Amino acid sequence: MSVLLLLPLLGNVEYETGLVVGGEFSSSVMDGEAIYMADGRGFTAFRLSDMLRLSDRLLPGRNHTIVRYDGTFYVAGSRGITALTLDPADKQVTDAATIFDEAVSAMSLDGDTLWFADDSLRLYGIDLSSGAQIEPSPVMLAAPPARIVPSGATLYLASDTAGLYAVDFSQKKVECVKLSVDGDPAVLDVFPANNIIYLAAGDEGLWVVEPKRNSAKVVAKVEAKGEIRRLDAYKDRLAAAAGTADLLIFSIAEPRKPLLSQEMDMYGLATSLALKDSLLLVMTTQGFGKVDLSIGPPFLNGIFYKSVGDGYELLCVGDIAVAAVGQGGIRTINIGDTLAYLGAYKDIDDARILYLFGTQIYAVTATNLLKIVDIKDPSRPERRSFIQYESMLSGLDAEGEIVLTAEDTRGVGSYWRCPCGPFKELGRLGIEGRALDVKIIPDTRLVLVSGSGNKIYTVSWKDSTKLETVSSADLSRTYDRLYLEGNLLVGLDKKGGLGLINASRPSKLKEEAALELDGTPSALAIKGDTLYVAAGKEGVYVLDISDRAKPRIISRIDVYGARGVGLTGQRLLVSTPYAVELYSIN
């Protein structure tokens, strides 16, 4: 087997540690002691009895599938396949090596053979027992599979909206063949049994088909709630992860006539399953739980592991970080040799964007609700006030008791916030198109407003009841977010761009440079002449802006799904949907 060592991070940034927030719990394997999980950010091991987290390992890219062979775990994702070796006693990762470095859409283990498909529609089969070199098979696939399911000499490929395919190695001519199914359902998973195949057909329910040479005859269709995504079975019980309908149990005592026998509520949306003997692990968008299929009726057995939330933006205040974690509200985090949760304020519906003024956090939600939380005692965040906006709240800034807001088609709003809590609207300024973000220039009573149509406005709030436009300028693109550092205004375009704007003369703003970035830039942090830009699946860009006319990318931190960044001293924090990661800046 060809082995490539994991590459170190680019540039002058080194990974230290991470604190798990949520997870894309998509695949797992179990033994009598532990659950081993591919959770989006990489690999995590949990104790089976009480779901205590034992170890975790950050891996490049988005990781979606895990299998185990002879003591080695193979984790597949958007950056390839990583082989992990664990200490049997404490489950800590002792060795990690990349064995394949291209994106993998699906992976499965069949005896000694590791099957997987890459994004170029090539199928690979590796004999793990012999340490063979990784070479693609001569079989080319017709569509990227979401699942590879071995059954005897045949590989079934569930290819979502592209349908059902099969590779039969018993045939003289081995090729990838589409099994036409009357009705052409989307196929998210396949479970072969009793000479028939059960298909997870999403919102079209559970289908039963009988495979032929180039087709699959429909035997039965069972309508079901939700969206059936994953299947597994113990004896005559077929379990289905059904999205909004959570977990469905079908009786297949009569294999060709499955009968829905039970529905089970779970936290979040059920997305995936793993089975060890009769113990079923149900993975959801908010965690995972255990169900014993050997008893009747089955029930949720023991503790449900519930994730904190989904990581969005974060801020740093000395050795304290504050993270927006979606449905989990906001969390305060202590930054030491490791990261540790300090406190939480959960009464916020889907917290996304954060601002810090003094000891108060302004948290903006997906429903345009603004909640103000005081973190004077980080271990006990306390609510101070809230306001529900009539339209989209995309940005705000504050000075003293005045809060200025970007409110989409309603323009720029001016509010007085009483120290005791309540807000009072003072004034409003309409602009052409949409107001996307605002940034106050300190001690000037001027605010910079990013607008749609590649516009930026300088607005006076000298009289906060009567906002007035001082000037406007045309830019090379529309910027969703603004960041001000001295006389430098930085604009971020979520579609993939960054601009540097000279704000030394607020009435005559000048765009000095614009740079295209891959990914979805959503947040940045500034340290001297260096920018750190969170850009989604592209990770974090590190840019040198010492020459304002020619900003350049000097490196990229490969942390998948980066949504927020924060700086404290010589350390960088990055938030992703899955975790808050800590890096040292050398």
Predicted pLDDT at 9: 43
> pTM of the entire structure?
0.89
- Report how far Cα 267 is from the mean position of its chain's Cα atoms: 18
* Strand ranges inside 70-121, DSSP E: 72-77, 80-86, 93-100, 104-110, 113-118
For 506, which DSSP code? Answer: G
In this prediction, residue 4 carries a pLDDT of 29
What's the rounded Cα separation, in Å, for the pair 50 and 239?
A: 23
**What is the architecture, at CATH level 2, of domain 179-307?**
6 Propeller (2.120)
Residue 373 in this model has a pLDDT that exceeds 80: yes
Q: Does residue 7 surpass a pLDDT of 70?
A: no
Q: What's the 3-state SS for 257-285?
A: CCEEEEEECCCCCEEEEEEECCEEEEEEC
Tell me the per-residue pLDDT of 99-115, one tens digit each, with 9 for 90 and over: 999 999 999 999 999 99
Strand partners, 150: 155
d(CA 207, CA 212): 16
User: Across residues 131-139, what is the average pLDDT?
Assistant: 81
Per-residue pLDDT band at 299 (split at 50, 70, 90):
confident
- Whether 2 shows a pLDDT value over 90: the answer reads no
Give the pair of three-digit tokens for residue 496.
Answer: 């993939």
Distance, CA of 468 to CA of 493 (rounded, Å): 26
Position 355 pLDDT exceeds 60: yes
Count CB neighbours of 209 within 10 A.
24
C-alpha–C-alpha distance, residues 440 and 399, integer Å: 8
Report the C-alpha gap between 35 and 2 in whole angstroms.
28
Least confident of 218-222, 274-278, 295-299: 295-299
For residue 555, the 8-state DSSP code is: E
Residue-wise pLDDT for 202-231, tens only, equals 999 999 999 998 999 999 999 999 999 999
Asked if 109 and 148 count as a contact pair (C-beta separation under 8 A), the reply is no
Work out the percent of the chain whose per-residue pLDDT is above 70.
Answer: 97
User: Which residue in the block uniquely carries the two structure tokens 């690979």?
Assistant: 124
Q: What would the mean pLDDT of 495-511 be, rounded to a whole number?
A: 97
**Segments in 396-537 forming alpha helices (H):** none
The pLDDT score that the predictor gives to residue 1 is 28
Tokens of 301: 């057995």
Q: How many CB atoms lie within 10 A of CB 128?
A: 18
CATH level 2 (architecture), domain 390-585: 7 Propeller (2.130)
Model pLDDT for residues 318-341, shown as the tens digit of each residue? 999 999 999 999 999 999 999 999
Segment 450-464, tens digit of pLDDT: 999 999 999 999 999
Mean pLDDT for 178-202 is: 96
CATH 3.40.640.10 corresponds to the domain 308-388:
no
Give residue limits of the domains in the chain: 179-307, 308-388, 390-585
**How much is the pLDDT for 134?**
79
